[in-house]
Structure 1
Amino acid sequence: MALKPPLSDLPINTADSGFYRGFSLNVTIISKIIISVLVVWAIVWPEWAGEVLGAWNQVILRNFAAWYIWTVTLFVVVCLGLALWPTAGRLNLGQDGEKPEFSNFSWFSMMFGAGIGVGMLTWAVAEPVAHFQNNPSVIQGVTTALEADNVRTAYVWSFLHWGLGAWACYAIAGLALAFFSYRRGLPLTIRSSLTPLFGKSLSGVLGHIIDIVAVVATILGVAQTLGFGVEQFVAGLSRIGISGLALEDGSATSLGIVVALLVIMGASTLSALSGVGKGIKWLSNINMVLSIVLLGFFILFGATFFGATAFFVGIFDYLVALPWLSINVYASDGVEGSEAFKLAQWQGWWPVFYWAWWIAFAPFVGLFLARISRGRTIREFVLGAMIVPSLMCFVWFAWAGGTAIDLELNGGADGVILGAANGDKIFAMTAYMLEPISQVLSWAMAVMIVVLLMTFLVTSADSAVLIVNTINAAGDEGPKARPHILFWGAALALVVGGLLISGGTGAIQTAMVIGALPFSIVMVLMCIALIKAIYNDGRREAAGIPTLSDDIPDAMPAE
């Protein structure tokens, strides 16, 4: 079959007038209905919602654990393969010769802030500590909980969850969207990334379904992040002297949840109204600077040598273990309390949950990465969006989490950090370090962490609102229809608040794992479509057939 120019036109019907002018009615209205039903269900019938979601979650964990683990492994292999493949690595995610819109610092700041930044403040301390207490090696009796022989294993699992796999999920989505939108001239929306497989049929019902799945996954993925962040924000407010928002164990009260959401979503909606180039860019730069200051504190005044050892030895151990961890699936024998049962349960709680989280987050972060990465090569994109952020996560886990472990193991913390709620661990640790020196200094550090947490949360939330509107508007990146920005800001707050109040972060986690499953299928198809498109473009270039939207005459038939 003769080669033809690639598809460079994918019409998506949008409303010409009225409240939904410029938006795809099918995608926007159905997405709003699904999210609204979820909110009402969780708030009005919390017990019923919890039971149903919990049952679905168990089915997914029992039957799809291997799917999640092997799928993320595929994303890592495809990303690294594209970067190393000469034909692909040199391709510009834009027209030939196009330069990036943002500086490297702003690009990395926005990418890290929207992608995982907020998670560092909770999990950089909480996760190494959690794995120091329990992980598969402890379950199998190979290492000892809370002892020095378990530190290296704790870091293998921490680095696995926040390393190449996490960022590969984002990179695959970002690469596919940037490639098809900025090289082919297709709409900046999820369906465009599957055009080599389904062609113009994506203008219709199939394309609408794909975009709806992406919107729902985005809302649930961001809700998971905000759920953790809200609880930590409330813990921080309590630490700086604002009482009545948290219980004695550090968990947020209903009042605390409402107050935190009003502050965070109010600020994020205002930022979203100002667009990517203004509010989000400046917030990202601010939280990157504050992050460097906080990280510098841990490196200089925390467990400096312990953290350095955790970083370098941890990376070595992680890379050695990565091939096995990328394919290993623990099978339960169905006997509660048995070693096989505990291993499978642990894998569902940690790796499977994380892979679902990153996949649910991928349409949002991927589209956002595509938006800010135009003009960069595929090789540069993979390096900047996958490898560099992984190393930054490792630095945080090594020195922030390493300081916590060292204080418990060798510094006499005596359970002060271990006993704190996950969101409160970083505050408990800094208070333990600074209060003997100065109460004022300890309070000031807590204030800085609260400010940093808020900027990360606002960046994630306002980026998500803008991305959801971009998908609903058939890929139109321009600011439009402010009422819709306000709706999605309010909807996101209600999803988080409703699920937190009715079932805590566990309810959000369950909904997110379920919502991520259909989008994981879309992402596997993205990999296939991207490889097919790049391979065929190489053949087209050899045959003198144009591959860029600017070079494809409108009259030429496309495949």
Structure 2
Amino acid sequence: MALKPPLTDLPINTADTGFYGGFSVSVTVISKIIISLLVVWAIVWPEWAGEVLGAWNTVILANFAAWYIWTVAFFIIVCLGLAIWPTAGRLNLGQDGEKPEFTNFSWFSMMFGAGIGVGMLTWAVAEPVAHFKNNPAVIQGTNTALGADNVREAYVWSFLHWGLGAWACYAVAGLALAFFSYRRGLPLTIRSALTPLFGKALSGILGHIIDIVAVVATILGVAQTLGFGVDQFVAGLTRIGIGGLVNAEGGATSIGIVVALVVIMGASTLSALSGVGKGIKWLSNINMVLSIILLGFFMIFGATFFGATAFFVGIWDYLLALPGLSFNVYVSDGVEGSEAFKLAQWQGWWPVFYWAWWIAFAPFVGLFLARISRGRTIREFVLGAMIVPSLMCFVWFAWAGGTAIDLELNGEANGVILGTGNGDMIFAMTQFMLEPVSQVLSWLMALMIVVLLMTFLVTSADSAVLIVNTINAAGDEGPKGRPHILFWGAALALVVGGLLVSGGTGAIQTAMVIGALPFSIVMVLMCIALIKAIYNDGRREAAGIATLSDDIDTDVVPAE
């Protein structure tokens, strides 16, 4: 069969006027109904919601753990393969000869901030400490919990969860969206990335379903981030002297949850209404300055040598372990308390949860990466989007988490850090370090972390609202109606609040793992579609057939 030009026109029906003017009514309304039902269910019947979500979590861990593990391994292989493949690596994510809009520094900064900046404040300290307490090597009896022999293993797992696998999820989504939007001229929405497989059928119901799945996954993925953030924000407010927000166990009370969500979502909605050029850009600049100050504090006044050792040795250990860990699946024997049961349970709590989180976050971060990466080659995009942000995560984990481990390992902290919740660890550690010097400095550091946390959370929330509206508007990045921004801001707050009430962060985690499952299938198809498109474009170029939207004769019947 003779080669034909690729598909460069994918019409998506949007309302011309009225309340939904500019939006795909099918995608927007159904997405709103699904999220609204989830909110009502979690708030009106919290116990029932908690029980059902718990049961579903058990089923998913028993049947889909391997799918999540192997899918992310596939994403890593695809990304690195595209960078190495000559035909793919040299392709420009735009028209031939187009130059990037942003400098490398700005590009890297925005990638990090959008991807996992907020996670660093919770997990850069909490995760190395958690794996220092327990990991598969401890469960199997080869390492000692809280022992010096367990430090390197703690960093292997920390780097695994925040390294190449995480960024491969984002890179797959971003690469596919950028390729089909900026080379093909298709709408900047998820369905466009599947045109080599389904062609113009994506203009109809099939495409609507794909975009709806992406919207729901995005809301649940961002809800997970906000759920952790609310706990930490409340802990921070308590540290700076605002009482009545935590219970006897140290968790956020209902009042604490409401206060945190009103502040965070109120600010994020106002920022979203002001648009990318004002609110989000301004907040991102604050994020970067405060992040540098905080990281510099840990590197200079924390465990400087310990952190450097954790960084370099940790990367070496991680790269050696990566091939095995990327495919290893622990299978439970069904006997509660057995080693096999504990290993499978641990894998569900950590790698499976993280892979689902990154997949659910991928529509949001991927679309954002696509928007800021136009004009870069595929090789440049893959290497830049996977390696540099991974190294930034490793720096945070090495010096922030390393300081906490070092203080506990040498006995100085004496359980002050280990005895607190995940969200409170960074506050407990900085207070322990600074309070003997100056209570004022300790309070100011806690205040700075609270401000940084809030700006990160607001940036994530308002960016997510704008991205959801872009998908609902068939890829249109122009101004969106204020009522829709207000709806998604409120919906996001209610999803977080409702799930926290029905089962804490565990309920959000389960809902997110469930929501990520259908989108993981979409992402696998995106990989296949992208490889097919690049392969066919190579054949087209050899045959002298145009592959770029600006060069294609629209009167010729397309192949996709």
Whole-Å separation in 1 of the counterparts to 2:269 and 2:470 = 15
AA of the residue aligned to 2:37: V
Matched, 1:487 2:487: yes
Whole-Å separation in 1 of the counterparts to 2:195 and 2:94 = 17
Q: Choose 171-180 or 86-95, whichever is displaced more.
A: 86-95
SS in 2 for 1:412: coil
Q: 1:206-228: CA deviations, max 9, x gaps? A: 00000000000000000000000
Q: Choose 49-58 or 12-21, whichever is displaced more.
A: 49-58
Q: Choose 77-86 or 280-289, whichever is displaced more.
A: 280-289
What's 2:458 paired with? Answer: 458
SS in 1 for 2:327: coil
AA of the residue aligned to 1:187: P
What's 2:543 paired with? Answer: 543
For 1:129-208, list aligned pairs within 5 A: 129-208=129-208
AA of the residue aligned to 2:218: T
SS in 1 for 2:116: helix
What's 2:238 paired with? Answer: 238
Query: Structure 1 length normalisation: TM-score?
Result: 0.99
SS in 1 for 2:448: helix
What's 1:513 paired with? Answer: 513
What's 2:90 paired with? Answer: 90
CA RMSD of aligned residues (A): 0.9
What's 2:496 paired with? Answer: 496
5+ residue gaps, structure 2, are none
SS in 2 for 1:550: helix
Conservation of the 8 A alpha-carbon contact between 1:110 and 1:281 = no
Deviation at 1:110, TM superposition (A): 2.2
SS in 2 for 1:417: coil
What's 2:377 paired with? Answer: 377
For 1:50-69, list aligned pairs within 5 A: 50-69=50-69
Whole-Å separation in 2 of the counterparts to 1:462 and 1:106 = 20
Whole-Å separation in 1 of the counterparts to 2:213 and 2:409 = 46
AA of the residue aligned to 2:543: A
What's 2:343 paired with? Answer: 343
Matched, 1:298 2:298: yes
AA of the residue aligned to 2:342: K
Deviation at 1:503, TM superposition (A): 1.3
Whole-Å separation in 1 of the counterparts to 2:411 and 2:434 = 13
Whole-Å separation in 2 of the counterparts to 1:383 and 1:281 = 25
Conservation of the 8 A alpha-carbon contact between 1:190 and 1:211 = yes
Conservation of the 8 A alpha-carbon contact between 1:466 and 1:485 = yes
Identity %: 89
AA of the residue aligned to 1:252: A
What's 1:79 paired with? Answer: 79
Conservation of the 8 A alpha-carbon contact between 1:249 and 1:420 = no
Q: 1:171-220: CA deviations, max 9, x gaps? A: 00000001000110000000000000000000011000000000000000
AA of the residue aligned to 1:213: V
What's 2:558 paired with? Answer: 558
What's 1:271 paired with? Answer: 271
AA of the residue aligned to 1:221: G
Deviation at 1:411, TM superposition (A): 4.5
Whole-Å separation in 1 of the counterparts to 2:542 and 2:482 = 47
SS in 2 for 1:102: coil
Conservation of the 8 A alpha-carbon contact between 1:109 and 1:285 = no
Whole-Å separation in 2 of the counterparts to 1:440 and 1:263 = 25
What's 1:222 paired with? Answer: 222
Conservation of the 8 A alpha-carbon contact between 1:128 and 1:154 = yes
What's 2:367 paired with? Answer: 367
Conservation of the 8 A alpha-carbon contact between 1:106 and 1:284 = no
What's 1:467 paired with? Answer: 467
Q: 1:494-550: CA deviations, max 9, x gaps? A: 100111122110110010000000000000000000011011111111111111111
What's 1:114 paired with? Answer: 114
Q: Choose 283-292 or 413-422, whichever is displaced more.
A: 283-292
Whole-Å separation in 2 of the counterparts to 1:521 and 1:391 = 28
Deviation at 1:15, TM superposition (A): 0.7
AA of the residue aligned to 1:331: V
Deviation at 1:281, TM superposition (A): 2.2
Conservation of the 8 A alpha-carbon contact between 1:171 and 1:366 = yes
Deviation at 1:54, TM superposition (A): 1.2
What's 2:323 paired with? Answer: 323
For 1:428-443, list aligned pairs within 5 A: 428-443=428-443
AA of the residue aligned to 2:357: W
Deviation at 1:105, TM superposition (A): 2.9
Q: 1:418-461: CA deviations, max 9, x gaps? A: 01110000000000000000001111111111111011101110
Deviation at 1:382, TM superposition (A): 1.2
What's 2:255 paired with? Answer: 255
SS in 1 for 2:354: helix
For 1:388-403, list aligned pairs within 5 A: 388-403=388-403
What's 2:23 paired with? Answer: 23
AA of the residue aligned to 1:6: P
Conservation of the 8 A alpha-carbon contact between 1:173 and 1:523 = yes
SS in 1 for 2:57: helix
Deviation at 1:292, TM superposition (A): 1.1
Whole-Å separation in 2 of the counterparts to 1:281 and 1:102 = 13
Whole-Å separation in 2 of the counterparts to 1:450 and 1:380 = 35
Deviation at 1:381, TM superposition (A): 1.1
Deviation at 1:245, TM superposition (A): 1.5
Whole-Å separation in 2 of the counterparts to 1:370 and 1:263 = 30
Conservation of the 8 A alpha-carbon contact between 1:42 and 1:498 = yes
What's 1:11 paired with? Answer: 11
Q: 1:399-421: CA deviations, max 9, x gaps? A: 00000000000141111000111
Whole-Å separation in 1 of the counterparts to 2:282 and 2:464 = 16
Q: Choose 34-43 or 257-266, whichever is displaced more.
A: 257-266
AA of the residue aligned to 1:487: F
Whole-Å separation in 2 of the counterparts to 1:477 and 1:22 = 11
Whole-Å separation in 2 of the counterparts to 1:458 and 1:377 = 31
Deviation at 1:278, TM superposition (A): 2.8
Deviation at 1:248, TM superposition (A): 4.0
Whole-Å separation in 2 of the counterparts to 1:54 and 1:455 = 32
Q: Choose 248-257 or 111-120, whichever is displaced more.
A: 248-257
Number of aligned positions between the proteins: 559
SS in 2 for 1:244: coil
Deviation at 1:249, TM superposition (A): 3.7
Conservation of the 8 A alpha-carbon contact between 1:92 and 1:377 = yes
Deviation at 1:385, TM superposition (A): 1.2
Q: 1:40-86: CA deviations, max 9, x gaps? A: 00000011111111111111110010000000000001111111111
Matched, 1:532 2:537: no
Distance 1:104 1:250, change over 3 A: farther
AA of the residue aligned to 1:178: A
Conservation of the 8 A alpha-carbon contact between 1:273 and 1:479 = no
